[in-house]
Amino acid sequence: MQKVLLSLPDHLADRMKAVIPPGQRSKVLADLLETEVKRREEGLYQCALGVEKDQALSKEMKDWDVTAGDGIDDETW
C-alpha cells in the first residue's frame, strides 16, 4: 500500500468530507481511480488494436524496417 498526496479544489474536498466518513475515504477514492484507470487502459488497448489492424500503416512500418540495421553503432557515453 502506498500513500499518495493529491490536491483537490476546496469545494470538492469539503463536499467529500461532508458525505464520506474518514475511515472510508481512501477506499472510495481507490475504487474511483480503479474504474478510471481501467477505462483509460481499455481506450489505449483499443487504439493499439486499431494500429495493428491498419494495413496501410503496417505496410509502411515494414518499409521502415530496413533502417533497423543501419550500421550506426550505439554510442556509450
Angle between helices 55-64 and 25-53 in degrees, nearest 10: 80
Task: Note whether residue 70 is domain-resident.
Answer: no
Domain count for the chain: 1
Task: Note whether residue 1 is domain-resident.
Answer: no
Task: Note whether residue 50 is domain-resident.
Answer: yes
Which range marks the domain in which residue 53 is found? 10-62
pLDDT in the model for residue 77:
67
pLDDT in the model for residue 54:
85
pLDDT in the model for residue 65:
78
The span from the CA of 50 to the CA of 54, in Å, is 6
pLDDT band, residue 16 (cuts 50/70/90): very high
Task: Note whether residue 75 is domain-resident.
Answer: no
Is the distance from CB of 21 to CB of 12 less than 8 angstroms?
A: no
From residue 28, alpha-carbon distances to 40, 41, 43, 65, 74 in Å are: 19, 20, 23, 47, 48
Task: Note whether residue 3 is domain-resident.
Answer: no
Task: Note whether residue 52 is domain-resident.
Answer: yes
Mean pLDDT of 42-62: 87
Task: Note whether residue 25 is domain-resident.
Answer: yes
Entry pTM: 0.63
Q: Among 22, 21, 40, which residue's Cα sits nearest to residue 32? A: 40
Task: Note whether residue 32 is domain-resident.
Answer: yes
